[in-house]
């Protein structure tokens, strides 16, 4: 069983910043809410694709991108609440086995966007165990900042589909709001991939 989230002590924003600093070439997809704020706070760039809605869809978007861009590392940064809404896509990722896709779940054990109710990960659900059961190549539960280097190495090496369940504090951090214009974000991201806008 995973570590109780209440006992976790990772600063999620520091973790995200350190991870992305060590994966400068990665394409990044964010879940809604806090994960988008954390990625934006780490440094806005054209290779970041921020999802403002589509709860549960971040990993699915990451899968599509990883299959379309197999020579690029793709990192999905999302929360436990969002990933719980999209459990089915973990099975599809396990079946597809994209070597360049890493899912990073910032798990504070709460539904942060709807009032901080306890999420299922506070009640015994292990997203790491689900990923293992779905056949992910690499699964890790992260309890301290010391794991950033090895996780970044996995991302950069594109050595198999991975999921990291990162146990973070249930902090209410200042919001760092990325661009909210979906067409702008989409076309900027496409331009970073060398694709024309549409």
pLDDT tens for 159-191 read 999 999 999 988 888 888 999 999 999 999 999
pLDDT tens for 113-126 read 665 567 777 778 89
Contact 39, 178 (CB under 8 A): yes
Q: Which residue has the tokens 């379309």?
A: 68
User: Exposed, middle or buried: residue 71 (CB in 10 Å: 0-12, 13-18, 19+)?
Assistant: exposed
Q: Which residue has the tokens 């996780």?
A: 151
198, part of any domain: no
197, part of any domain: no
103, part of any domain: yes
109, part of any domain: yes
Nearest partner of 58 among 150, 163, 155, judged by Cα: 163
Containing structural domain, residue 15: 5-192
Rounded Cα distance, 111 and 81, in Å: 5
Report the pLDDT value the prediction gives residue 6, as an integer from 0 to 100: 46
Domain count along the chain: 1
> What is the CATH number for 80?
3.40.50.970
């Amino acid at each position: 069983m995973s570590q109780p989230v209440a006992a976790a002590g990772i600063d999620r924003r520091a973790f995200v910043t350190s991870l992305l600093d060590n994966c400068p070439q990665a394409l990044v997809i964010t879940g809604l809410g806090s994960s988008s704020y954390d990625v934006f706070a780490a440094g806005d760039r054209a290779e970041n694709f921020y999802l403002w809605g589509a709860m549960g869809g971040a990993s699915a978007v990451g899968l599509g991108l990883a299959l379309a861009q197999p020579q690029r590392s793709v990192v999905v940064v999302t929360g436990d609440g969002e990933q719980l809404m999209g459990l089915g896509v973990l099975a599809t990722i396990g079946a597809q086995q994209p070597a360049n896709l890493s899912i990073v779940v910032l798990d504070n054990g709460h539904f942060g966007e709807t009032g901080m109710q306890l999420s299922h990960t506070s009640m015994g659900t292990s997203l790491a165990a689900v990923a293992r059961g779905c056949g992910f190549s690499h699964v890790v539960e992260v309890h301290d900042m010391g794991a950033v280097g090895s996780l970044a190495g996995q991302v950069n090496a594109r050595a198999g589909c991975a999921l990291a369940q990162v146990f973070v504090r249930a902090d209410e951090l200042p919001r760092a709001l990325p661009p909210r214009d979906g067409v702008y974000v989409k076309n900027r991201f496409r331009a970073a991939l060398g694709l024309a806008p549409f």
